[in-house]
Structure 1
Amino acid sequence: MVAMSSVPRLFIDAGLSSGEKVSLSDNQANYILRVMRLGEGAPVRVFNGRDGEWIAAVVPESGKRASIVPERQTRPQVETLDLTLFFAPLKKARTDFVVEKACELGVRRIQPVMTERTQSSRVRRDRLQSVVIEAAEQTERMDVPEVFDDVPLQAALEDWPAGKPLYYCDEAGDARPMREVLSDASSGAAGILIGPEGGFSPKEREWLRKNEQIQPVTLGPRILRAETAVVAALTLWQSCVGDWQEHPYLPETENG
């Protein structure tokens, strides 16, 4: 009896249905055949964010290629709560950390925003998408957050839906505590905005404070690094209005 938690798990960007063969990418094939050393018929878990999670069998092919054949669905598809993270990109490793933790903490969309004090002048969306795919595979998520191309701060927020809260973490500390604000929240759908190192400029803060849809909140008396603020804010949101009250997923056994 094999615990499914020990079976490799892959995100597949294709439809999943019983008996329908799906080709693996070169990187996935290399991981399955050479890193994990799985042979023909070995089980893998696969998901695509639409069709639930499946147990599939490995099918080695010529050269370094491989496919999988889904056999049975182990979990139906579930929808992630409607949470968007807006953040100012940091240096490469710290930006990777932010998007990885955002995936682990249940964010549905990740929107980099360029501010007057943003440290990075360019964001590689394809690389960040790869980071969140790997994080989703490892954390039992049933979907993968979407990472968007970076846009200017005001352009990112000007079309935010009316009535949907957007919490702006204000490093000045003169706002209500985030936990207190979240205690009044009537819906889980929301956005969270984290600024750059050094904070938003006075002009940006003035614009944010004038926008009635944006609720300033504080994360406490200390000035947090941007990546710490992301984790703190998402943790508060999940514990107050998110899905942390739900029962954890316990992987079945191969025969269970």
Structure 2
Amino acid sequence: MAATPAWPPRSAPRLFVAQQLAVGAMVALDGNAANYLSRVMRVAPGDAVILCDDATGEWAARVVEAGKRSVTLEAVERLRPREDMPDFWLCPALLKKDRFDLVLEKATELGVRRIQPVITRRCVADKLNAERVRAIVTEAAEQCARTALPELGEPAKLEALLRDWPADRALFFADELGGVPAAQAFSGSTGPAALLIGPEGGFDDTERELLRAHRQVKPITLGPRILRGETAAIAATALWMGVQGDWNK
């Protein structure tokens, strides 16, 4: 006798939806989401789709109607509760658009809980398109099977960020002039943490002095080579996840 195929199949498409889900909830999709399901994935009534609502978790849904411009699904069962992401924030200085897009995407895939963009004196940009940022991290979360979207902060100037910094959260500062080796610093730290990465031109002397004078800031080094901002953000985040995050669970 042939084995019964698993349901939902691992190949089922994944989408985040704004609606909070429950057993029997009907979800009507249009726009890009409907186009993706109907024209790219070519779903038909009865097919499975994985839905996440960033509140209750991950759900198996069944396609009820599939049109060219709209798709209706019914939530059938919850597969996983919303995951508790490691308490790690990434605070990257704004970079050129394509490079910052990469940081957003990879930070989401790596499991960052919050992305807090920072504006420094040498930043080449001072604002972000919030809708575009949300689309990038949502697509990345769908691709890597996260059930929780990262929190997104509004871009903040460095001085304001430090002024309002929570007293219980360590802020690792990747300083190209040196500090404690990152792996050593991460291993010796407990509790909530964050990582600050500078812009293409690095931090200026005034910013560096301000950072090193802050009681929650811990200067670290990411090795003997000078890394691009996007490389430093991705590499250091991956290192923290391996040392203190959820990679070894």
Q: CA deviation at 1:63?
A: 6.0
2:46–2:62: 8 Å Cα contact kept in structure 1?
Answer: yes
- Provide the secondary structure at the position in 1 that maps to 2:117: strand
Gaps of at least 5 residues in structure 1 are: 247-256
1:118 alignment partner, one of 107, 120, 123: 123
In 2, distance between residues paired with 1:51 and 1:121?
35
The alpha carbon displacement at 1:67 in A equals 1.9
In structure 2, the residue matched to 1:23 is 28
The match for 1:169 is 174
2:174 touches 2:197 (CA, 8 Å); kept in 1?
yes
Counterpart Cα distance in 2 of 1:218 and 1:63 = 52
Which stretch shows the higher mean deviation, 148-157 or 163-172?
148-157
2:94 corresponds to:
89
Deviations 1:178-205 (A, max 9, x none): 1111121123x21110000111011100
CA distance in 2 between counterparts of 1:102 and 1:36 reads: 26
TM-score (norm 1): 0.91
% same residue: 44
State the match for 2:237 in structure 1: 234
* Matched residue count: 244
The aligned runs of 1:167-206 (5 Å cut-off) are 167-173=172-178, 175-187=179-191, 189-206=192-209
Q: Deviations over 1:1-49 (max 9, x none)?
A: 2573211000011110011101214111111111111111211001112
Contact kept, 8 Å, 1:21 with 1:70, in 2: the verdict is yes
User: Separation in 2 of the partners of 1:123 and 1:160?
Assistant: 21
Alpha-carbon distance, 1:142 to partner: 1.0
1:76 Cα deviation after fit: 2.0
1:83: how far off?
1.2
Q: CA deviation at 1:216?
A: 0.6
* 8 Å CA contact retained: 1:38, 1:58: yes
What one-letter code is carried by the residue in structure 2 that aligns with 1:242? G
Equivalent position of 2:248 in the other structure: 245
Is the counterpart of residue 37 in structure 1 residue 42 in structure 2?
yes
Deviation by residue 1:186-239 (Cα, 9 ceiling, x = unmatched): 23x211100001110111001000001111111011100000000111011011
Alpha-carbon distance, 1:121 to partner? 3.1
Is 2:105 the partner of 1:100? yes
SS state at 2:103 partner: helix
What does residue 251 of structure 1 align with?
A: none
Tell me the residue number matched to 1:76: 81
Tell me the SS of whatever aligns to 1:72: strand
Distance 1:4 1:158, change over 3 A: farther
Q: Kindly state the Cα deviation for residue 158 of structure 1 after the two structures are TM-superposed.
A: 1.8
- Looking at structure 2, the residues matched to 62 and 167 of structure 1 have their Cα atoms a distance apart, in angstroms, of 50
Give the residue type in structure 2 aligned to 1:126.
Answer: E
Deviation at 1:163, TM superposition (A): 2.7
Unaligned runs of 5+ in 2: none
Residue 143 (structure 1) aligned with residue 148 (structure 2): yes
How many Å separate the matches in 2 of 1:14 and 1:102? 25
- Alpha carbon RMSD of aligned pairs, Å? 1.4
Distance (Å, rounded) in 1 between the aligned partners of 2:72 and 2:174: 45
CA distance in 1, matches of 2:201, 2:117: 17
Instruction: Specify the SS of the correspondent of 1:121.
Output: coil
* Contact residue 129 and residue 146 of structure 1 kept, 8 A: no
For residue 62 of structure 1, report the CA deviation from its aligned partner: 6.2
| TM-score where L is the length of structure 2 | 0.94
Distance, in Å, in 2 between the alignment partners of 1:83 and 1:72 is 30
**Are 2:27 and 2:72, in contact at CA under 8 Å, matched by a contact in 1?**
yes
